[in-house]
Chains A and B, each alone.
Chain A
């Protein structure tokens, strides 16, 4: 069965700091990878997705993620965070030909002004 782990439960940063959130998955086949964000009081929204091709994908609001197949990882990065990035971030995996999405436990990001 697929599983997704996220390295940090809660990350606290100051504005302008760089961000990297870790995500690892366990599945031996081809996968589609996603990062979703949930701002306070809002629904889950897609930040970015990887299906194939360039392993470095860019999403909305300056976020990017790199797929490293050998490490089963899909880490999320942002060079300079803003207070408005305070939210919960979820990594998700969708396995080859499957329709289920398996989510990680989430990482709560708090950005201090």
Chain B
């Protein structure tokens, strides 16, 4: 079974530029997450999709971050304009919910490392 695919793996941009990250979840996984992991910290949720609908985007800085999952499969996360503090690894994860309590675990991609200069 193929894992969660992410690209690009690395990206270096200057502040105020824009960047986009792409994620392809595991086939059949309806739930998709974007996490931000700053060096030395645990992953922090940015946005969660169920199929192509947003479940939780309460921690997404909407003035500069946007995300979409138009057909309920692939997703893109965009940052525009980038700030120095956006330097982090952006992780995509997917989940196959099992039963009404959603007991499935998260499967992560390798992440996209962003450096903002």
Interface residue ranges, A against B (CB under 8 Å): 4, 32, 34, 36, 42-46, 49, 51, 90, 92, 94, 96-106
Contact = CB atoms under 8 A, between A and B. Distances in A.
Contacts of A90: 42-43
9 contacts: A42-B110, A44-B93, A44-B108, A46-B106, A49-B105, A99-B31, A99-B50, A99-B56, A99-B95
A103 B103 contact: no
A62 B31 CA distance: 30
B58 to A, nearest CB: 9
Contacts of A36: 106, 108
A9 B103 CA distance: 28
Interface of B: 3-4, 31, 33, 35, 40-45, 48, 50, 55-56, 91, 93, 95, 97, 101-103, 105-111
A43 B50 contact: no
B50 A103 contact: no
Given A43-B109, A43-B110, A44-B91, A32 B103 contact: yes
B110 A96 contact: no
Contacts of A101: 33, 45, 106
Top 4 A-B residue pairs of the complex, sorted by shortest distance between their CB atoms: A103-B42, A44-B108, A43-B110, A103-B43
Contact of A34 (B45, B97, B105, B109): B105
B54 to A, nearest CB: 12
